[in-house]
């Protein structure tokens, strides 16, 4: 079916409410959906949440909740934010949905049968935050290339997908579909990655429970990406007998939106999965850059996330949508700032667009012109403006087709400022008294331009553009962009956009405070930490856990400190060694004796380790 448009967003990890970065991915998909709707296509817009895997299991544990209960708690926040921002999705999929789970299991069984999935053993370094296998062998100090966080060693029996068998087919596909990935430069990166050689991909985990059970082998759950990527087909009925025609109607996707951090999954693994299932590949992937704050990726874990709800309350959903679409260069990283947002709203929206509308309707109504009809013929200036609109529209369409939304928006801002110049140059306030016919033509041309702009901006600002059209009696109909034949019925309306003083401090803090576990620096400095040298160390009779230490803190004296570390250290191992201690803890009695501090240790599944300075320092040195 040619006249359909199937667009998807990545599915978001349900570990927190959405932030502005999550909104950005979703907004780009929504703009594409609305643009295609406006052009008469039937649209299916899919979004949802990614709810399985180690990351979720660990986050739920940290929150003291069961995984399902934990993920459930964020769904409302996602749906509310999407609603507030007029994100018109057709379906919200959750990877815990029964239909999805069933379909993924069928998909695995199918691939097991045809030999694309086989059993083996995985050993290597794994990045839990990115849910990625980083190096296929044990190595010390491996950092994830994506997020720079430390990887953990995993050694387990696992199922593998024969990714290596698809290397040549993928390269062939990239060659024949140079516009598979927007922007094209990203496809070059992907191609080099595939050319450097593909190893088979581990697609099951046996050391966690929170995932889709592997069919026929309950020891395993599906690796979260094998589960998650399939949402794009299970949502529209893949492997569901009753929904075959629905699936065939929508697949392949026309546009799949994703951030640059997850390109490899979407441009390599996903197409290979589809090839193995004999399914066509998506037409285009749109890979967008990150929204940054002070040059750092905005993210919940970095604590610099902007809350879209606070932004909407302060500036309005359409204004934020328009700012993000116009000012964030889709394909690159872009800096977000409140100052930039205020400047954009004040200049582009309030001054150039809102004022133009206001001046036009006020002047016309004051001159008793309520119904504006097309003139018999357009003047030279008006014709020139129309030619500029036609050029703008052509460029706009091209950019929209390539999902280069910010470039498309730039065309609109250029044209809007041209309409302002036209309006000024015609001096309609003089014509209102001297030349009624010419006056009416200028108002008609300005209203037609505004109607064209409102249609083109509608996918980005659906509410505000409907308001604009209502004030001139215009219509939402993409054909009217080119056809200037409408009759306008003007009526006074409210100011469309507010202006902001860019220097003024925001009323409310928009960069969210990470709510959990924050302490202030004042809290921190209350804890006195110092390096001490353990001069004596002995076991405590009748205690399984305790060692008793005499610790030298230089000028601060020698203190007796107990530590629950007997299982991990022998007294002779500690004698003469340094450690880090809290020295202003209220003394307390342990086995009848006073402990005058506490030794710091790092605890993990592998045991316990003493914290030591990287170089020998004088006993008693303070930590800051």
Minimum gap (Å) between residue 546 Cβ and ligand MSP = 44
57 binds ligand MSP (CB under 6 A): no
262 binds ligand MSP (CB under 6 A): yes
27 binds ligand MSP (CB under 6 A): no
211 binds ligand MSP (CB under 6 A): no
388 binds ligand MSP (CB under 6 A): no
Q: Which of residues 99-138 bind ligand MSP (CB under 6 A)?
A: none
234 binds ligand MSP (CB under 6 A): no
Q: Which helix (H) or strand (E) segment is 356 a member of? A: helix 355-366
By the 8 A CB rule, do 573 and 581 touch?
no
At 444, list the tokens.
């008609």
534 binds ligand MSP (CB under 6 A): no
Of 18-26, 181-189, 389-397, 470-478, which part binds ligand MSP (CB under 6 A)?
Answer: 18-26
Residue selected from 10, 211, 428, 462 as contacting ligand MSP according to rule CB under 6 A: 10
24 binds ligand MSP (CB under 6 A): yes
Neighbours of 179 (CB within 10 A): 13
- Alpha-carbon span 419 to 33, nearest angstrom: 28
Of 11-19, 198-206, 470-478, 537-545, which part binds ligand MSP (CB under 6 A)?
Answer: 11-19
Half-sphere CA count of 431, side-chain side, radius 13 A: 18
According to DSSP, the residues that pair with 258 across neighbouring strands are 287
416 binds ligand MSP (CB under 6 A): no
**Closest to 152 in 3D by CA, of 218, 222, 205:** 205
Task: State the residue number with the nearest CB to ligand MSP.
Answer: 259
297 binds ligand MSP (CB under 6 A): yes
Span between the terminal Cα atoms of the chain, in Å: 65
By the 8 A CB rule, do 299 and 305 touch?
yes
290 binds ligand MSP (CB under 6 A): yes
Site string for ligand MSP, 299-328 (x = CB under 6 A): x-----------------------------
| Structure-token match 């990239």, residue found | 174
At 393, list the tokens.
């529209």
Residue selected from 5, 7, 17, 22 as contacting ligand MSP according to rule CB under 6 A: 22
Choice between 294 and 362, CB closer to ligand MSP: 294
Residue selected from 72, 217, 261, 536 as contacting ligand MSP according to rule CB under 6 A: 261
Contacts of 339 (CB under 8 A, 6+ apart): 502, 503
- Alpha-carbon span 182 to 3, nearest angstrom: 22
**Closest to 104 in 3D by CA, of 211, 247, 206:** 211
Contacts of 361 (CB under 8 A, 6+ apart): 471, 472, 490, 491, 492, 493
47 binds ligand MSP (CB under 6 A): no
Minimum gap (Å) between residue 327 Cβ and ligand MSP = 13
Minimum gap (Å) between residue 182 Cβ and ligand MSP = 14
Choice between 71 and 442, CB closer to ligand MSP: 71
Distances (CA, A) of 217 to 108, 121, 207, 214: 11, 14, 13, 5
- Alpha-carbon span 461 to 476, nearest angstrom: 12
360 binds ligand MSP (CB under 6 A): no
Q: Which of residues 444-473 bind ligand MSP (CB under 6 A)?
A: none
Task: Please report, as ranges, the residues that interact with ligand MSP according to CB under 6 A.
Answer: 10-13, 21-22, 24-25, 50, 228-229, 258-259, 261-262, 290-291, 297-299
């Amino acid at each position: 079916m040619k006249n359909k448009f199937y667009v998807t967003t990545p599915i978001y990890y349900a570990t927190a409410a959405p932030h502005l970065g999550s909104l950005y991915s979703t907004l780009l998909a929504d703009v594409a959906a609305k643009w295609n709707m406006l052009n008469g296509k039937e649209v299916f817009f899919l979004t949802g949440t990614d709810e399985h895997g180690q990351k979720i299991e660990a986050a739920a544990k940290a929150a003291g909740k069961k995984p399902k209960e934990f993920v459930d708690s964020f769904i409302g926040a996602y749906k509310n934010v999407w609603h507030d921002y007029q994100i018109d999705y057709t379906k919200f999929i959750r990877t815990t949905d029964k239909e999805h789970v069933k379909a993924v299991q069928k998909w695995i069984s199918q691939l097991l049968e045809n030999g694309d999935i086989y059993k083996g053993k995985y050993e290597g370094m794994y990045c839990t935050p990115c849910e990625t296998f980083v190096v296929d062998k044990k190595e010390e100090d491996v950092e994830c290339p994506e997020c720079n966080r430390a990887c953990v060693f995993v050694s387990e029996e696992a199922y593998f997908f024969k990714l290596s068998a698809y290397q040549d087919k993928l390269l062939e596909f990239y060659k024949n579909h140079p516009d598979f990935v927007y922007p094209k430069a990203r496809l070059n990166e992907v191609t080099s990655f595939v050319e450097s050689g593909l190893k088979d991909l581990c697609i099951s985990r046996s050391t966690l429970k929170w995932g889709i059970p592997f069919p026929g082998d309950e020891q395993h759950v599906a690796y979260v990406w094998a589960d998650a990527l399939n949402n794009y087909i299970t949502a529209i009925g893949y492997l569901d007998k009753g929904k075959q025609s629905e699936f065939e109607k929508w697949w392949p996707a026309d546009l799949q939106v994703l951030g640059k951090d997850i390109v490899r999954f979407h441009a390599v693994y996903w197409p290979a999965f589809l090839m193995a299932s004999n399914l066509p590949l998506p037409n285009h992937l749109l890979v967008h850059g990150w929204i940054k704050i002070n040059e750092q990726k905005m993210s919940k874990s970095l604590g610099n996330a902007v809350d879209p709800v606070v932004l909407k309350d302060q500036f309005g959903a359409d204004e934020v949508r328009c700012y993000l679409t116009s000012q964030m260069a889709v394909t690159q990283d872009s800096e977000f700032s409140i100052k930039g947002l205020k400047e954009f709203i004040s200049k582009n929206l309030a001054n150039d667009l809102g004022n133009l509308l206001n001046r036009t309707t006020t002047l016309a109504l004051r001159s008793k012109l309520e119904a504006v009809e097309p003139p018999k013929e357009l003047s030279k200036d008006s014709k020139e403006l129309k030619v500029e609109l036609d050029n703008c529209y052509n460029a706009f369409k091209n950019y929209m087709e390539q999902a280069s939304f910010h470039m498309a928006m730039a065309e609109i801002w250029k044209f809007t400022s041209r309409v302002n110049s036209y309006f000024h140059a015609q001096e309609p306030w003089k014509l209102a008294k001297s030349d009624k016919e010419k006056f009416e033509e200028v108002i008609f041309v300005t209203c037609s331009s505004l109607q064209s702009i409102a249609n083109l901006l509608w996918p980005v600002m659906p509410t505000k553009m409907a308001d604009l059209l209502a004030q001139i009696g215009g219509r939402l109909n993409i054909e009217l962009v080119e056809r200037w034949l409408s009759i306008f019925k003007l009526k006074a309306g409210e100011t469309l956009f507010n202006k902001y003083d860019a220097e003024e401090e925001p009323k409310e803090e928009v960069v969210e405070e990470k709510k959990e576990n924050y302490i202030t620096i004042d809290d921190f400095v209350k804890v006195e930490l110092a390096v001490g040298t353990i001069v004596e160390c002995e076991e405590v009779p009748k205690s399984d856990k305790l060692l008793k230490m005499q610790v030298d803190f230089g000028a601060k004296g020698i203190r007796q400190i107990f530590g629950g570390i007997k299982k991990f250290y022998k007294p002779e191992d500690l004698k003469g060694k340094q450690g880090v201690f809290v020295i202003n803890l209220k003394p307390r009695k342990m086995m009848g004796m006073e402990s005058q501090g506490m030794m710091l240790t790092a605890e993990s599944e592998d045991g316990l380790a003493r914290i030591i300075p990287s170089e020998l320092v004088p006993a008693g040195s303070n930590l800051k």
